[in-house]
Structure 1
């Protein structure tokens, strides 16, 4: 039976459905007491959740109402009431006739820099009001930006907001939010503050002018890894917004501009007047976050298989990260002068442009660092059919099957693929290492489960390897044509460098290729 026309809490008459997501439905409703239209957000029945999980979900909904109700600002949706409907919590909000920024961008439209800056001004005003009220939004994204009549911009959905003085509602290893807009520090499990909302604002602005999220990959696992370690792909259509977006998407939250500075630049770009973006100089000390777990070497996702004949996978020759040929230490982007120079309509682009979807264009300029020595012929210590690779970039040596092609590489990882391009070996590093790799394996897994329904864990357990703390993670997932299986070993000394050895192959051929992992593991040596 349709809910249309039903009365909720003896007061709110449901008129029509205006939005629907995985957790709830938003209705346009009539408040029959005050004779006004409202938006009513009602959670769905969740039969697969445990009682504890349902209690957490309901409490998040109530917190959303309390968080938003603390903020009185024209750029934040107004909360009128919280009611129960057949045992489910509902939030009654201001009804804003609008479309979302996400819906606009899904039509294929991208925004001119000045228009993106205008929308950004509404968002930063909402965030400033929220942060002043002690509320972190934690889910800033185009889908939560309403574009109303008269140019009004409204930030909505404080469903996972954090209010100062309240406890977290997430379990260890769980990150709540939309993965494309989760800041690097949150992805690594660190405590986050207002700068995380600013990072999400930068990701939203990037998508507004470029048409895609800044670090989008084929899977949640790869996206998470890219957010933490990949350089930002060069912007091509950001114009005067480019320096600000780059600054907002800095990996280190201490390097992002302040709310006030962000608002000043957005205002200038919206009016098409050049300005100067200043942040604290390099000489000024910055608070250093304590070493925490980063993400492991990015497992490649064989869901990119295009056909069933061992055909090429999208992105085999390009990891899609849009790596720049930076000259900073370790290949990482060097922080500029007082971070950024003048904001101008024309700016210098990065040296290498790359796609973000691991598809379409092959990047013949993908970096394969020249510091790796030539493969050593097989010897008594290397089994037949393998050769020893002395990898000076990663500071390790390891056996690789003969005939496997070295693919994309960086200062954090290198990939090798077999002739069919369906089997992959990845050697990666995490620096600095945390107490045990299991923590970041669980961190990635939590998001993978939420965004990738075919993932299945086989095992994840702590162990030791070469006298160091280690974890082993095995799982399966389905590609477009076939099922795959993967195994990942992470090991290292806390505060030092962690190494990760990852192999994935078609599940039907796992018995054939699992020995590759065992051989690489047995022959792996660090400098």
Structure 2
């Protein structure tokens, strides 16, 4: 019932998406007017939402025939449907990430009194910058105004429509949750639970068959089973779904207990859903009670029979009116200058994990997490109830009765390449005495903070247990560096490796010192910084791999916009060549930002330096292939014509693997 176009807003110089409403053929004038009202309702519905995972609406235009055209943000992306079609089903953990983002958008909509009514993979966008967006609220209607439904038409996708909506026309938050469950099923299985050759066959299966098992869901199984319960009164609510999805992301990839059957009555669908109560931050929620596998009670059997009779009574007329849119105890502390302050706040939408997963297959205890705030100012996710020991500036978290350990703390600032620093540490003759049976896994640069490298190895611990260790050394400013070390028994490493990612994703450094000389990291040392009389450089040179020359501007005093080029790297050209990387993903020089000319998504658009405005056209990520990728266009910063001579200009090009004119190193 609509077409979406990519367009250019010439006034604001940005790409937008324009949804053109295409009325179905044969509509009466009254029905056409109802459709126009519905489209305006869509615009109002989206405009009321303010959520990172919900598409934004900018304006509504009226065509010559009076049909509205809705102007929305353009998200460079592909849909989850396209991803499944091209690449196959996604892993359960990735499906949980997508589900959590969509659930956040739905909860925001439900709090505003809006039901989406068409949650499905085709309406979930996966941005090139990783953002997940729920779009096409074209079927959304204010829950308190259910009289706007087009006469004689039940809109929706039969493979994802909820049972109560298909059979009774009931619209509400519970129906959106059912559709989310069907979407998660499709994500891990490759198709919806009721995918059939025709709409009628899908609806017949929905009415007469139980949901099929999700054989590849793994730890997502309780979420999918709970969301796909046909009776809304037995379906899990948004709070439970969120807790279970977070448990999948926080815990090992093992099956969780079935979700409990709610004892609440379903919320009325004629009023907005109240804002959910916050999940307690410091007390782990108990694991959901397992369902009894015995024979269903008589009342449950009666409910199922009544559902079947109701389904059969409405199925035939529904076939004529379905419209398919086109589109334990706390260990004592041994330190007094730190605190555990609650779940982490920074990995994805939120990283709180208050659900205790079952024991992992390797026998290690599951982890629940809190945020540790150190007196020096840094914060980091840490396993709750582990013993805290301070050694000089390092903080150690020891597993009670186990071998796992997390170490976090500042180190002396590296003056050069972290890979070189770690390699020098490895060559220290004392390593062999401290790490019995040492064997390197790898030392490699990683894309983290300003500069970083990982050193991973195995060695035999004091008790004869083979330990697996990963240490990350990284720079957060010109005067600050840290290390994070994660240690587990080698046999348990596969089940515990994700914990290291959780810690590094949630780490936040202390505020950098206001002034001071540049310090130097001495291999193997963690003592106090050694002061230097060398003035601190406020930034990094970006050196092209093909040319060996630096990203440069000819005159820092030039007015906006300033053209970019490559030029010989020189210490006396700091005002022309020293770039800084902001937390908002901006790349700055002299208070101005790298920018794509006119916020263009076209290949060959110039890259310039101009006034900072925090838009995606000014957001760049240096990936692990050393490419600077623009968040708006998804293209890479490149030298025009793959040039290597002084003065060669800079543009954006489609990212190509192994293209040296697109590769940059910070120095």
CA shift for structure 1 position 276: 5.4
CA shift for structure 1 position 108: 5.0
Pick aligned residue for 2:15 from 27, 34, 37: 37
The answer to whether the aligner puts 1:279 opposite 2:154 as a matched pair is: no
Question: Counterpart of 1:311?
Answer: none
Distance in 2 between the 1:186 and 1:442 partners? 14
Question: Counterpart of 1:146?
Answer: 125
Question: Counterpart of 2:317?
Answer: 442
Distance in 2 between the 1:94 and 1:129 partners? 18
Whether the 8 Å CA contact 1:277–1:340 is kept in 2: the answer is: yes
CA shift for structure 1 position 191: 2.5
CA shift for structure 1 position 431: 4.9
CA shift for structure 1 position 278: 4.7
Question: Counterpart of 2:236?
Answer: 257
The answer to whether the aligner puts 1:56 opposite 2:37 as a matched pair is: no
CA shift for structure 1 position 340: 4.6
Q: Which aligned pairs between 1:240-389 and structure 2 lie closer than 5 A?
A: 240-273=219-252, 278-280=259-261, 284=263, 286=265, 338=289, 340=291
**Cα deviations by residue, 1:132-154 (Å, 9 ceiling, x for unpaired):** 11111000000100101232100
Distance in 1 between the 2:18 and 2:233 partners? 38
Whether the 8 Å CA contact 1:202–1:248 is kept in 2: the answer is: yes
Distance in 2 between the 1:148 and 1:288 partners? 33
Pick aligned residue for 1:238 from 199, 217, 221: 217
Pick aligned residue for 1:126 from 75, 100, 105: 105
Whether the 8 Å CA contact 1:123–1:155 is kept in 2: the answer is: yes
5+ long unaligned stretches in structure 2: 269-287, 294-303, 326-667
Question: Counterpart of 2:48?
Answer: 70
Question: Counterpart of 2:506?
Answer: none
Distance in 2 between the 1:78 and 1:288 partners? 28
**Cα deviations by residue, 1:98-155 (Å, 9 ceiling, x for unpaired):** 1000111122511000011111111001001111111110000001001012321000
Question: Counterpart of 1:203?
Answer: 182
Distance in 2 between the 1:431 and 1:41 partners? 39
The answer to whether the aligner puts 1:82 opposite 2:60 as a matched pair is: yes
Distance in 1 between the 2:172 and 2:157 partners? 17
| Cα separation, partners in 2 of 1:209 and 1:38, compared to 1, 3 Å | same
Whether the 8 Å CA contact 1:68–1:158 is kept in 2: the answer is: yes
Query: What secondary structure sits across from 1:180 in the alignment?
Result: coil
5+ long unaligned stretches in structure 1: 1-22, 290-336, 342-347, 349-410, 413-428, 452-527
**TM-score calculated relative to the size of structure 2:** 0.41
Distance in 2 between the 1:186 and 1:47 partners? 24
Q: Which has the higher contact order (CA 8 A, sep 6+)?
A: 1
**TM-score calculated relative to the size of structure 1:** 0.51
How many residues were matched structurally? 294
Whether the 8 Å CA contact 2:222–2:257 is kept in 1: the answer is: no
Question: Counterpart of 1:165?
Answer: 144
CA shift for structure 1 position 232: 1.5
CA shift for structure 1 position 38: 1.1
Question: Counterpart of 2:116?
Answer: 137
CA shift for structure 1 position 95: 0.9
Distance in 2 between the 1:47 and 1:115 partners? 40
| Cα separation, partners in 2 of 1:212 and 1:431, compared to 1, 3 Å | closer
Query: What secondary structure sits across from 1:107 in the alignment?
Result: helix
| Cα separation, partners in 2 of 1:91 and 1:53, compared to 1, 3 Å | same
**Cα deviations by residue, 1:411-452 (Å, 9 ceiling, x for unpaired):** 98xxxxxxxxxxxxxxxx975459x94x543223212x759x
CA shift for structure 1 position 174: 3.4
Pick aligned residue for 1:110 from 89, 94, 114: 89
Whether the 8 Å CA contact 1:261–1:277 is kept in 2: the answer is: no
Whether the 8 Å CA contact 2:181–2:228 is kept in 1: the answer is: yes
Whether the 8 Å CA contact 1:82–1:90 is kept in 2: the answer is: yes
Question: Counterpart of 1:92?
Answer: 71
Distance in 2 between the 1:165 and 1:242 partners? 33
| Cα separation, partners in 2 of 1:125 and 1:102, compared to 1, 3 Å | same
| Cα separation, partners in 2 of 1:240 and 1:265, compared to 1, 3 Å | same
Whether the 8 Å CA contact 2:126–2:132 is kept in 1: the answer is: yes
Query: What secondary structure sits across from 2:260 in the alignment?
Result: coil
CA shift for structure 1 position 280: 4.6
Q: Which aligned pairs between 1:422-441 and structure 2 lie closer than 5 A?
A: 431-432=308-309, 437=313, 440-441=315-316
Q: Which aligned pairs between 1:178-193 and structure 2 lie closer than 5 A?
A: 178-193=157-172
| Cα separation, partners in 2 of 1:36 and 1:228, compared to 1, 3 Å | same
CA shift for structure 1 position 271: 3.6
| Cα separation, partners in 2 of 1:444 and 1:109, compared to 1, 3 Å | same
CA shift for structure 1 position 24: 2.3
| Cα separation, partners in 2 of 1:440 and 1:250, compared to 1, 3 Å | same
**Cα deviations by residue, 1:174-210 (Å, 9 ceiling, x for unpaired):** 3211111110011111523211000000000000000
Question: Counterpart of 1:482?
Answer: none
CA shift for structure 1 position 35: 1.5
Distance in 2 between the 1:244 and 1:340 partners? 13
| Cα separation, partners in 2 of 1:150 and 1:272, compared to 1, 3 Å | farther
Distance in 2 between the 1:62 and 1:220 partners? 28
Query: What secondary structure sits across from 1:253 in the alignment?
Result: coil
**Cα deviations by residue, 1:49-81 (Å, 9 ceiling, x for unpaired):** 221222122222111111111110100001000
| Cα separation, partners in 2 of 1:31 and 1:243, compared to 1, 3 Å | same
Whether the 8 Å CA contact 1:139–1:158 is kept in 2: the answer is: yes
CA shift for structure 1 position 228: 2.1
CA shift for structure 1 position 211: 0.4
Query: What secondary structure sits across from 2:148 in the alignment?
Result: coil
CA shift for structure 1 position 161: 0.7
CA shift for structure 1 position 233: 1.4
